[in-house]
């Protein structure tokens, strides 16, 4: 399995992602520039990663300009053919702007940038698992219209929810006020994944936290 990490002007987590995948998880990584289009070196068992940062300075809405990069047209085609795509933080915002994932990421409910470790729970793999993962965002409040949110819940598209250290899910434990405490979702076909927390920042023992490895294992079966 290969990973392609897309770099946009303003990306500042691309090197974190590349280091985690390449050095901590021993995966093959290819860096992709946003102005390029070629994804011929990847097949549907591989994964394209949209890292965090402030693509194009977050002008307009976060991710709204990056969505029109030449590479994103190829990424959309790749996803529609069944290829895996993973967006973290700004990458999650780009996926929503691109229509590859439902909903949108809005300004945090408290209107402040948040940067700290939070806790997530995974309802499926395995149910009730709890992870400590860093967040760093000002617009991470997940929102979807009522009918759309009902469909997301009905189809089990929620990957992770914010919780406390004991795994209790409540709006009080959300760093941004996301609806239903949603921290990450997938599409109906389960090949496109987006989340606001940064698992790539919790993959090395020197950080005293390797819970990010479990996230990558959950999604891509790599350790």
Tell me whether residue 139 is one of the annotated catalytic residues.
Answer: no
CB of 64 closer than 8 Å to CB of 96: no
E strands present in the chain: 2-7, 28-33, 47-50, 84-88, 104-106, 114-122, 129-137, 141-143, 158-163, 182-186, 192-195
Strand order in 84-88's β-sheet? 28-33, 2-7, 47-50, 84-88, 192-195, 182-186, 158-163, 114-122, 129-137
Tell me whether residue 146 is one of the annotated catalytic residues.
Answer: no
Strand 192-195 vs strand 84-88: parallel, antiparallel, or unpaired?
A: parallel
Tell me whether residue 28 is one of the annotated catalytic residues.
Answer: no
Q: Name residue 106's beta-bridge partners.
A: 141
Annotated catalytic residue within 89, 96, 163, 203:
89
Per-residue burial over 34-45, b = 16 or more CB atoms within 10 Å of its CB, e = otherwise: beebebeebeee
Annotated catalytic residue within 34, 137, 173, 198:
198
Annotated catalytic residue within 13, 139, 173, 200:
200
Q: Which strand (E) or helix (H) includes residue 211?
A: helix 211-220
CB of 169 closer than 8 Å to CB of 132: no
Residues known to be catalytic:
89, 198, 200
């Amino acid at each position: 399995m290969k990973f392609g990490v897309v770099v946009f002007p303003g990306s500042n987590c691309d090197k974190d992602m590349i280091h985690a995948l390449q050095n901590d998880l021993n995966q093959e990584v290819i860096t992709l520039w946003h102005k390029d289009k070629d994804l011929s070196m990847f097949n549907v068992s591989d994964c394209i990663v949209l890292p965090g940062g402030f693509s194009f300075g977050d002008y307009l809405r976060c991710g709204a300009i990056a969505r029109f990069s030449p590479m994103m047209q190829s990424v959309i085609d790749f996803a529609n053919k069944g290829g895996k795509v993973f967006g973290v933080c700004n990458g999650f915002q780009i996926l929503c702007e691109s229509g590859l994932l439902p909903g949108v990421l809005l300004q945090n409910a408290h209107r402040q940038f948040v940067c700290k470790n939070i806790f997530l729970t995974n309802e499926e793999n395995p149910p009730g698992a709890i992870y400590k993962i860093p967040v760093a965002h000002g617009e991470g409040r997940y929102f979807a219209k009522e009918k759309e949110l009902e469909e997301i819940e009905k189809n089990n598209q929620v990957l992770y929810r914010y919780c406390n250290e004991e795994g209790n899910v409540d709006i009080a434990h959300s760093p941004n006020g996301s609806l239903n405490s949603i921290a990450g979702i997938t599409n109906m076909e389960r090949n496109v994944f987006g989340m606001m927390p940064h698992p790539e920042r919790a993959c090395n023992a020197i950080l005293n936290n390797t819970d990010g490895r479990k996230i990558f294992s959950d999604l891509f079966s790599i350790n």
